[in-house]
Structure 1
C-alpha cells in the first residue's frame, strides 16, 4: 500500500516530536520566522506542522479553505509542501501573502497560492482546479479547514462570512457547502482535518465540534480516524480576565473552555 508520508518507520523512535496521542498539550505558539499571533482566531503553527508531517510527503499539495493570516502556507514553505489557501477577506489575504512571501523556501519547486474568494462558491473551486492544472496536478493530499467558531469572533460585516451566519443551523449548512465543494479533490486514502471549537451562548453549550463532525460524516466516502483534543492557552478574549471568568463559571454552572478539536477524516 502506498505510503502517505515521508516517515521512516524503521527509525520510528527518532520522531519523538510527532504527537501520537489524542490529547495535544502544546505550550507557547511557534512565533519563529514570519509566524505571528496577532490575528485574532488564527491557529498555532504546530497544528499544520504536525498534520503535514504525519499525513503528507514533500511535494504534496495542501489546501486550506479558511487561510486567515497564512499559517498553513508558511508551514508548507518550511516543510517542502505545495499550498493553496483561500481567504474571503482581501485585507487579511494581503497580510497572508506578505508573510508567506517573506518566509524562506525549503525547495524552489514548491508553489504557494493565495486566493481571495469564498470557499462555498463553485467558481472558487474552479479557480483551485486551474491552479492545480497549471502545476500539473489533479488532486490535493491534505485539506485543512479551520472555520470560524460560528459567531464567537466576528471577522467582518459580510453576509457570506461564516461568522455572520444567522443561526447555528445556517453555520453548519455553510460549512457543509465548503466540504462538498472540495471533497472530491482529496486523493483517496488521504486526510481532511477540521479544527473547531465549541461555543457557549444563552446559558447553553453549543457543540459545534460534534455538529461539524456529523456534517462531514453525512457525506459518503469518509471515515472518522481520530478526535484530537487540543488545549487552549492564552485565549485573547479571556486574557487578564481569569478571575472574572472563574466567577462567571461558578455563578452560571458551566466550565470554562480550555480545549478545541482537531477532527481527522480519511477518504476511502
Structure 2
C-alpha cells in the first residue's frame, strides 16, 4: 500500500513505511558530531529521533524531552513539522540547543503544498524534577509524545578507556558537578528512583493513549553488570504500560580490550529504546 490509510490514528505512514519500524532491533550508526555538539558526553542523533517521531505522531503534534541536552529532539521536531518542548538543566547545553534551533529555523520549511508552515520549538533552562511548577509557569500544553535519553548517572562517573579518551581531548565526560543534576545521584538505586519519579510527575501532562520512548543502556560498573534499562522498565510498568522495545545497535564504535587475558567484559554497543503508553489500564 502506497497511501496513508484514512483509519490510521497514530501517524502518517503507509503500510510499507509502518512495517519495518515494528522490527525489534535495528542498526543505526550516527554521523560524526559537529563541533558544537561533541562537547556533550551523550548526544544522540536527530535522524534516529525523527524515525520515532514520525511513527508515534502526526504533524503539528507536541513532543517533549525532559533531558534535552544540546537540542537534538527539537531539531528533529522541526525537521518533521512537530512542536517541541525541551528542558535542560545546564546552561551551556541549553545555550547550544537554542543556537541549533536558530540555525534550523533560519531555513525555510515548506509543506507539501509549498506553503510555509513553521512549528514552535521551546528550550527551557530548568530542572525536570520541578515539572508541576514548570507546566504552570509557562502554561504548557499537554503532550502527544515523549522521547528522551536520560543522563546515565553513575555510568558517566566511572572511569574507563572511553572516558579517558574524551578527557584527553578536553571534552566533557559527565554533565556537570551540579548536585541537582540527575547524573550526580548518590548511587545506582538513588538514580533509578529519581529518574522514575520524573516520569511519574510528568504523567498528568501526557495525553491519554500517548507514547513515551526512553533510550537507556545497561552497563558494567566495578565488575557488576547494571541492568539499568531492565530495572527502569520494571519500575515504569507500575505507572505506564510497557509496549515493547527496539534495540538500537551500533557496529562502528571502537572496541576496547576490556578484560583482555583474564575475563570477559563486554563492549556494550546497543541501547534499549523502551516504549511505554499512557493508558487507564495501568492503575497506580
Match of 2:152 in 1: 149
Per the alignment, residue 135 of structure 1 pairs with: none
Q: For the structure 1 residues 109 and 247, does the alpha-carbon distance in structure 2 shift closer, same or farther, using more than 3 Å as the test?
A: closer
* Residue 189 (structure 2) aligned to one of 141, 147, 169: 169
Aligned to 2:136: 126
For residues 149 and 67 of structure 1, what CA distance do their matches in structure 2 show?
Answer: 13
Shift of 1:182: 1.0
TM-score when normalising by structure 1: 0.84
Distance in 2 (CA, whole Å) between partners of 1:94 and 1:231 is 30
Q: In the aligned structure 2, how far is the partner of 1:173 from the partner of 1:19? A: 31
SS in 1 for 2:21: coil
**1:257 equivalent among 243, 246, 268:** 268
1:198-251 CA distance string (max 9 Å, x none): 1211101001001111121121xx21111111113555xxx4xx3xx3252552
Question: Whole-Å Cα distance in 2 between the matches of residues 80 and 18 of structure 1?
Answer: 22
Q: RMSD in angstroms over aligned alpha carbons?
A: 2.4
Aligned partner of 1:187 in structure 2 is 207
Equivalent-residue separation in structure 2 for 1:62 and 1:232 (angstroms): 25
The change in CA–CA distance for 1:16 and 1:125 in structure 2 (over 3 A counts) is: closer
Unpaired runs of 5+ residues, structure 1, are 133-138
Query: Does structure 2 retain, via aligned residues, the 8 Å contact 1:43–1:71?
Result: yes
Q: Aligned residues, how many?
A: 247
Q: Match for residue 245 of structure 2?
A: 227
Q: Distance in 1 between matches of 2:56 and 2:210?
A: 7
Partner residue in 2 for 1:25: 27
Provide the TM-score with structure 2 as the length reference.
0.79
CA shift, 1:27, in A, is 2.5
Structure-2 residue corresponding to 1:5:
11
- Output one character per residue of 1:117-160: Cα deviation in whole Å (capped at 9) or x when no partner: 110113234345x133xxxxxx2110112111222222100111
Q: How far has the Cα of 1:6 moved from its partner?
A: 1.4
**CA 1:28–1:255: 2 relative to 1, 3 Å:** same
Q: Are the equivalent residues in 1 in contact too, given 2:44–2:72 (CA < 8 A)?
A: yes
1:119–1:125 Cα contact (<8 Å) kept: no
State how far apart, in whole Å, the 2-side matches of 1:42 and 1:170 are.
23
Moved more, 104-113 or 177-186: 104-113
Q: Is the 8 A contact 2:147 2:212 kept in 1?
A: yes
